[in-house]
Each structure stands twice: as C-alpha cells, then as structure tokens.
C-alpha cells in the first residue's frame, strides 16, 4: 500500500477549520486518491478548540491521524499551535497563521483558504483540483476573494517555507 | 465523499424510506436534516420516545421508516423499543442510535450495543460511510423480512468522518399503503405478548442462522499468529494497526455469528477482540466458550485510535499521555444566557441545570450550575432539593431549562411541581432562545416552525404552565429588560408559591436565520391571502 498522507488542520470554532478540511479532502478526492476525514463537532462550535484530520492515499483505513504521525499540521490560530504539536511527526511541516502577512488578506475570514494555498505547495495535488474543490465548497460570491487568498498563501509559502 | 450521517440519509432515500423522525442530538442530528434537503420526508418530534412511536405507526402501516437519535435518546425511547421488538412491523423500521464514545458532546459515554441484547433488537454496526449507506438499506430489508425493528448503531467517528460512498440504483416503491389489521401482532396485552415473545426469540434464531451463512462479515486472511475480531470504526483502526494479522469484522453484531467466529478462532494462535467502549463482544465470545482476549480496562474509556489499538495488541497497560487540553467551549459573545447566569451567580442560587448550551453556565465566569443529569432533570431535581433542604437553602433553589428541553422532558416536571409543591414553593426558569441551539439550531414545537423551517402551530409555554396550574407565570424579554430578571427572581424566591419565568431572546447564531424564516412565512401568508381575494 502506498504511503498515506496525513494532514491535521486546527484552530478555534468559527475560523473555518472544517471548511478547510472539506476543501482539502475534496481536492484530494478529485486527484484520484482514497480520502477519509474526521473531526469532532458539537460543543466545539462555541468558540473552543477544533481540529480536523484529513488522510489520503491509495487506500486509507482509519479516519483519524494517529498521534505523532501528521505529515503536515496547519494551524489557523497562533494559540493553538502548541496544543496540536504532538500530532506532528518528527520532521513534519508546520504551517501557522504567520505565513500570511498581517493585513494582507482583504477579509480575515479567508485565512483558512489562504493557508490551504500555502499547504498546496507541499502536496502533490494539481492546481486544477484545488480550484474545482474551492468552487464546489464555497458560495459563488466568495469565489474571487478566496482565489486571491489561495494565491496569497502560495506566495507566503514561497517566502516562509522556502519552497 | 459523504459523512456517515449523510450516507444514512442517502441510503434511506434510495431504499424508499417514506418517513424519517427523530430528535436532534450530536452526532446524529445531520441525518434528518440531510434527508429533508435531498427530498425525503423528515420531521422532528418533541422527544425520542414520541419519534419512535410515530415511526412504529408508520412501519405498522407498511412504510419504510427511520428514526434517529443520539445514544442517550434511546434511553428516552427505550419504553417503546422494548415492546416494539415484540410486534410485527410491515414496513422496514431502522432505529439509528448515534453513540459518542469519548463524550465529544454528551453527558455520558454509554454503549448502546447493550440495547440490542436487552431489547432483543438486531444491531448493525458500520465501519465507515459506505457501510452506513449499505447497512441502512440492509437494516430495512432485514426488518421487513423478519418484521422486527433493527438498530443501526453509529459512533461519532462514523457519523462525522467523511469517506467515499458508491451509491446503488434507488429502489422504486410508490405502492399505496393500506392498513392491515393484525391484532395479535400489534396489541401487546399478555395474551398476545406471551406468544409474541416466543416469536421474537424464533426471529432472532433465524437471523442468527442468516448471519452465520450470509451476514455482513469481512474476513481478511493474514499471519495466523494473531487473529482480530472487530466491530465498527475500531475495525479500521485494527486493520491499520496490525495489517498482517487475520481479521474478522462483524457487521451484524447482535445476534452474533458465534459459529463463524468459533471457526475463525480455531484458525489463529491468539484471538483479540477490538471494540470501542464496553466489553460487549468479548464477553459474548467468552460466554460461548471462545477463548478471546479483550482490552485492558483503561481502554474502555474514550475513543480508540490506531495508536491505542497498537497498545492493546501489545498488552501495554502503561499510563497513556493525556493530549494537551484545548480551549474549552464557552457561551457566545452576546448570548442571552449570559445575563441569566450572572444573575443566578450574584443571587447565590442553588441551580438545578439541564442539557443544552446553557450547561456552559457551570464554567467560570458564571460558575452557576450545581446539577445536570439528563434532559428535563432540572425540574425534578430542583423539586427534590427543595423538599428536603432546610428552608434557608431550599429558598435558593432554581431550576433552569431550555426551550427545546422543556418540550422534550420538562412538561412532566411542571406537572410534578403543581401536584407536589415544596413548602417553599419553587422557581423554574425556561430560557427560551427560540431554537435547539446546542445541536445547531433545529426547530421544535415551541418555535412554530417545522424541520424545514416552514410555519406550523406553536406551543405557548406560558399558556401551558398557566393551564397546568402554576401559581405565577412571567415572561421577560431579556433583550429589552435584562435588568428586570434580578428583582423578579428575588420576589418569586421569597414566596411559598410555584413560579415559572420564561426569559425570551433568540440565540445570537439563530436570530438572523429566524428573521429570514419569518419573512418567508409572512410573504407566503400574503400570497395566500391575495389568492383568496
């Protein structure tokens, strides 16, 4: 079985963590991978910590990323980095909100998609699948602003992550 | 890609389910919402017991039916369940029980597989969304074949994980339904229930034989040194934790295919049962004389994952590292419950609480809740406290219940308060935020809107309480007069009378949507009036 790619997206309720993981899972599915994603709903929507696991590859079994086995940890809120760090494997990639310059986003609500842009530079999923996933998971009036945010994230990644 | 909840909804639609009923509860809520959105007929009931009763009627009439609830909801519906299994259903009846191991959003982590054995209902346990889809369909078919309600037991990680689903061609059944009288199979008086119990055991024996021969069992052959018997999402954790082991994944876990498992056990050197929650499966195997190894007690608590299954297989009982605590949830900024709990804290009330967002009133900065047991318990527990505490303490006791919870299980508490009033009287606060907020803003009989948010009749809490004989019934608009709560409570707490205070202010998350629903309803009413002219 081919290696499964493990990504954990974390933040606070209301930041769009689940939306981001929906878009990532959809993009990976469009790229032809088996995909599973899971998270806990419910009380977390009242402003508490939220995290979502996305796994893709040839064949995925468990829907949860085992602790210490995330290839990428993407965090939308600086205060949530440390509590989620144990999910990251040694040598794994951390993408935090500092990848995006403060004030660079037209709307702070699109931070989730901007960080997906940064994430996209580290994954083997074609740009076309990302675009299709963005369109499928967001209302049409939000497409333009989120496409800009995604592009901004890709630029931020080039600067911050040295890719 | 579908969540397990959405897969159940799609499976129900494709299998020709004519009615879906239920009461909202994480992680089951999305099933009926999705079923409605994709074209099914779905409705919220006041509580799970009523939902199951409506579902029974629908199935008695020959319609394929599903009823959805969270694990604790099945406790409420248990009275109906335990006798419904003795009846003959004509249409398939699937009872979806969504368990919450790890208590992501629940008051306990009970394991509803026990209900299968206790109520004599077959239990199907899917491992992912594909099986959630397939087993919804299979459950309806088994239910019709043996005329027995079937439990579809999901867990949080099946409900809310998204996995790939390949749907089948929808089942077409537009046949007209007609009532078929079958008194011995539907009227459970002792004369009919005695033979019905024997019939029920016969049905289970036949289902066991079917499960042995052609039940939903997946066998993976590997190295015979280790054999795993697993159920539910734990089965995929196990496949990943021990990819080289032999594994038998059981889909219909009550009644069990014990001979199939016995043969599997004989084919491996070491047999380990991997199941989330209570040792239900392993105990059944041992009772049948199958030498099976279970998990250490520490793994009964919380969800399993690949890492924990590895530990179970390695018989590792060393303490597990606690994951770092995240930021706890809190009442939203601008939430109408805030003013209430600030007042209760400032008055030093003894607060008998209930289930909902407002349970967060227990946390700082409010720290204003002293008990929380189950849906509706606030009223009864508050009365019990009042009956036996000394007068100075009894006078400080207040029951706090939300609007949806009040309809669900609060009405009988009010009847108790009127019937057995404590010497110091009592005060019940109904926090009416015009929605079932906690589970994601679902409608209920007190909102005046149906599951799809279209208008229906609304139950007036103040009229109900007045007609039941409560001495003082007050309605307070928190938006306009939050300051009025404290003097009103002080006055009522000093009286030896029964009082209900209904505080009103829509949930901040629901308010914008409620305005849209109301606007749509007004436009519709205008249209209808214009047509009549």
Question: Does residue B245 share a domain with residue B346?
Answer: no
Of B1, B236, B332, Cβ closest to residue A25? B1
Percent of chain B with pLDDT over 70: 100
Of A46, A61, A62, Cβ closest to residue B330? A46
Check A41 against B160: CB less than 8 A apart. yes
Check A63 against B331: CB less than 8 A apart. no
For residue B327, is it within any domain?
no
Sheet holding B350-352, edge to edge: B350-352, B397-402, B426-432, B498-504, B472-477
Q: Which residues of A touch B164 (CB under 8 A)?
A: 29, 34-35
pLDDT band at B322 (very low <50, low <70, confident <90, very high): confident
For residue B529, is it within any domain?
no
Identify the residue with better confidence: A160 or B218: B218
Question: Does residue B365 share a domain with residue B473?
Answer: yes
* Domains: count for chain B: 3
User: Do the beta carbons of residue B342 and residue B323 sit within 8 Å?
Assistant: no
The set of residues, in sequence order, having a beta carbon less than 8 Å from that of B530 and lying 6+ positions away, is none
User: Do the beta carbons of residue B234 and residue B274 sit within 8 Å?
Assistant: yes
Average pLDDT of every residue of chain B: 96
For residue B270, is it within any domain?
yes
pLDDT per residue as tens digits for the range B429-466: 999 999 999 999 999 999 999 999 999 999 999 999 99
The helix/strand/coil state of B253 is strand
pLDDT per residue as tens digits for the range B98-157: 999 988 888 899 999 999 999 999 999 999 999 999 999 999 999 999 999 999 999 999
Q: Nearest residue on chain B to A30, judged by CA atoms?
A: B1
Question: Does residue B349 share a domain with residue B203?
Answer: no
Q: Which residues of B touch A51 (CB under 8 A)?
A: 326
Q: What interface predicted TM-score (ipTM) does this complex get?
A: 0.91
pLDDT per residue as tens digits for the range B246-281: 999 999 999 999 999 999 999 999 999 999 999 999
Provide the 10 A C-beta neighbour count for residue B177. 12
Over 80: is that where the pLDDT of B79 sits?
A: yes
Which residue reads 């694990």 in tokens?
A: B71
Residue B66 main-chain phi, psi, to 5 deg:
-125, 150
Selected for mutation to probe chain B from A46, A56, A69 (highest B CB count within 10 Å) is A46
**Nearest 10 degrees: Cα torsion B399, B402, B404, B406:** 20
pLDDT per residue as tens digits for the range B185-237: 999 999 999 999 999 999 999 999 999 999 999 999 999 999 999 999 999 99
CATH number at residue B408: 3.40.50.970
Question: Does residue B394 share a domain with residue B251?
Answer: no
- pLDDT (average), residues A19-27: 97
Interface of A with B in 84-143 (CB under 8 A): 86
Question: Does residue B196 share a domain with residue B72?
Answer: yes
Which residue reads 């299709």 in tokens?
A: A132
For residue B322, is it within any domain?
no
For the range B345-351, what are the long-range contacts, defined as Cβ-Cβ under 8 Å and sequence gap of 24 or more? B346/B486, B347/B396, B347/B486, B347/B489, B347/B490, B347/B493, B348/B396, B349/B396, B349/B397, B349/B398, B349/B489, B349/B493, B350/B385, B350/B389, B350/B393, B350/B396, B350/B397, B350/B398, B351/B397, B351/B398, B351/B399, B351/B400
Question: Does residue B349 share a domain with residue B307?
Answer: no
Which structural domains are found in chain A, ordered by start? Answer: 5-160 (3.40.920.10)
For residue B479, is it within any domain?
yes
**Cα distance between residue B438 and residue B453, in whole Å:** 17
Nearest to B445 by CA among B411, B419, B478: B411
* A67 CB within 8 Å of a chain B CB: yes
pLDDT value of position A2: 52
User: Do the beta carbons of residue B483 and residue B457 sit within 8 Å?
Assistant: no
pLDDT per residue as tens digits for the range B372-400: 999 999 999 999 999 999 999 999 999 99
Instruction: Tell me how close the Cα of A115 comes to any Cα of chain B, in angstroms.
Output: 21
The DSSP secondary-structure symbol of B436 reads B
Over 90: is that where the pLDDT of B353 sits?
A: yes
Question: Does residue B223 share a domain with residue B202?
Answer: no
User: Could you give the angle at the alpha carbon of B98 between the alpha carbons of B156 and B353, nearest 5°?
Assistant: 95
* A37 CB within 8 Å of a chain B CB: yes
Check B104 against A82: CB less than 8 A apart. no
CATH number at residue B227: 3.40.50.920
User: Could you give the angle at the alpha carbon of B236 between the alpha carbons of B232 and B237, nearest 5°?
Assistant: 105
Of A22, A34, A48, Cβ closest to residue B327? A48
Over 90: is that where the pLDDT of A39 sits?
A: no
For residue B533, is it within any domain?
no
pLDDT band at A44 (very low <50, low <70, confident <90, very high): low
pLDDT value of position A163: 47
Q: Which residues of B touch A132 (CB under 8 A)?
A: none
Question: Does residue B406 share a domain with residue B386?
Answer: yes
Question: Does residue B127 share a domain with residue B110?
Answer: yes
Question: Does residue B165 share a domain with residue B54?
Answer: yes
Question: Does residue B258 share a domain with residue B209?
Answer: no
Interface of A with B in 7-36 (CB under 8 A): 12-13, 22, 25-26, 29, 34-36
pLDDT band at A43 (very low <50, low <70, confident <90, very high): low
For residue B177, is it within any domain?
no
pLDDT band at A1 (very low <50, low <70, confident <90, very high): very low
User: Do the beta carbons of residue B74 and residue B81 sit within 8 Å?
Assistant: yes
Q: How far apart are the first and last CA of chain B?
A: 49
**Cα distance between residue A88 and residue B256, in whole Å:** 40
Structure tokens at A75: 């965090």
Q: Which residues pair with A53 in a beta bridge?
A: A8, A38
Question: Does residue B245 share a domain with residue B117?
Answer: no
Structure tokens at B50: 């009523």
The helix/strand/coil state of B112 is coil
For residue B471, is it within any domain?
yes
User: Could you give the angle at the alpha carbon of B39 between the alpha carbons of B37 and B41, nearest 5°?
Assistant: 95
Residue B383 belongs to domain spanning: 337-519
Determine the angle formed by the axes of helices B4-14 and B129-146, rounding to 10 degrees.
40
pLDDT value of position A42: 54
User: Do the beta carbons of residue B340 and residue B360 sit within 8 Å?
Assistant: no
């Amino acid at each position: 079985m081919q290696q499964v790619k493990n990504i954990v997206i974390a933040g606070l309720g209301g930041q769009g963590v689940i939306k981001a993981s929906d878009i990532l899972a959809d993009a990976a599915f469009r790229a032809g991978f088996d995909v599973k994603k899971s998270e806990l709903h419910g009380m977390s929507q009242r402003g508490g910590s939220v995290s979502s696991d996305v796994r893709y590859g040839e064949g995925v079994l468990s829907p949860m990323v085992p602790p210490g086995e995330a290839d990428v940890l993407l965090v939308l809120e600086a205060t949530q980095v440390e509590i989620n760090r144990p999910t990251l494997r040694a040598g794994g990639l951390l993408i935090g909100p500092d990848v995006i310059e403060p004030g660079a986003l037209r709307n702070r609500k699109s931070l989730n998609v901007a960080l997906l842009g940064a994430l996209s530079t580290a994954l083997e999923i074609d740009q076309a699948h990302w675009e299709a996933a963005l369109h499928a998971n967001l209302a049409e009036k939000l497409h333009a602003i989120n496409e800009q945010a995604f592009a901004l994230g890709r630029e931020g990644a080039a600067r911050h992550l040295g890719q | 890609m579908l969540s397990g909840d959405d897969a159940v909804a799609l499976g129900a639609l494709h299998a020709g389910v004519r009615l879906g009923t239920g009461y909202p509860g994480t992680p089951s809520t999305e099933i009926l919402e999705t079923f409605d959105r994709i074209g099914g007929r779905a409705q919220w009931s006041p509580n799970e017991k009523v939902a199951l009763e409506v579902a029974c009627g629908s199935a008695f009439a020959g319609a394929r039916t599903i009823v959805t609830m969270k694990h604790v909801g099945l406790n409420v519906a248990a009275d109906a369940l335990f006798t419904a299994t003795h009846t003959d259903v004509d249409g398939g009846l699937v009872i979806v029980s969504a368990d919450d191991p790890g208590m992501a959003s629940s008051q306990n982590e009970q394991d509803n597989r026990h209900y299968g054995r206790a109520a004599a209902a077959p239990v199907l346990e899917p491992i992912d969304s594909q099986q959630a889809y397939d087993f919804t369909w299979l459950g309806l078919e088994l239910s019709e074949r043996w005329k027995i309600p079937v439990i579809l037991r999901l867990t949080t990680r099946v409900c809310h994980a998204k996995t790939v689903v390949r749907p089948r061609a929808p089942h077409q059944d537009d046949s007209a339904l007609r009532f078929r009288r079958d008194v011995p199979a539907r009227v459970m008086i002792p004369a009919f229930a005695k033979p019905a119990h024997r019939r029920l055991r016969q049905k289970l024996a036949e289902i066991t034989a079917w499960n042995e021969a052609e039940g939903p069992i997946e066998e993976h052959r590997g190295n015979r040194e280790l054999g795993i018997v697993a159920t539910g999402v734990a089965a995929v954790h196990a496949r990943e934790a021990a990819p080289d082991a032999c594994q038998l994944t059981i889909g219909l876990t009550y009644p069990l295919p014990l001979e199939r498992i016995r043969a599997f056990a004989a084919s491996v050197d070491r047999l380990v049962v991997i199941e989330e929650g209570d040792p239900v499966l392993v105990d059944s195997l041992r009772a049948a004389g199958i030498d099976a190894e279970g998990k250490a007690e520490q793994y009964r608590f919380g969800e399993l994952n690949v890492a924990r299954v590895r530990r179970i297989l390695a018989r590792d009982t060393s303490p597990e590292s606690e994951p770092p605590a995240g930021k706890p949830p809190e009442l939203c900024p601008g939430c109408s419950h805030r003013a209430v709990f600030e007042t209760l804290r400032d008055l030093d009330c003894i607060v008998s609480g209930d289930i909902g967002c407002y349970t967060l009133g227990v946390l700082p900065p409010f720290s204003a809740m002293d008990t929380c047991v189950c849906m509706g318990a606030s009223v009864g527990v508050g009365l019990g406290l009042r009956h036996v505490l000394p007068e100075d303490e009894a006078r400080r006791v207040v029951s706090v219940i939300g609007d949806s919870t009040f309809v669900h299980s609060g009405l009988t508490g009010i009847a108790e308060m009127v019937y057995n009033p404590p010497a110091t009287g009592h005060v019940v606060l109904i926090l009416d935020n015009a929605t079932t907020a906690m589970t994601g803003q679902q409608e209920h009989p007190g909102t005046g809107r149906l599951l799809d948010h279209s208008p229906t009749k609304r139950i007036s809490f103040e009229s109900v309480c007045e007609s039941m004989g409560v001495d003082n019934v007050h309605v307070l608009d928190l938006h306009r007069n939050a300051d009025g709560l404290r003097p009103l409570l002080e006055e009522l707490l000093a009286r030896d009378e029964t009082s209900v205070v209904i505080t009103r202010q829509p949930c901040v998350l629901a308010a914008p949507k409620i305005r849209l629903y109301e606007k749509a309803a007004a436009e519709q009413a205008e249209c209808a009036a214009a047509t009549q002219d």
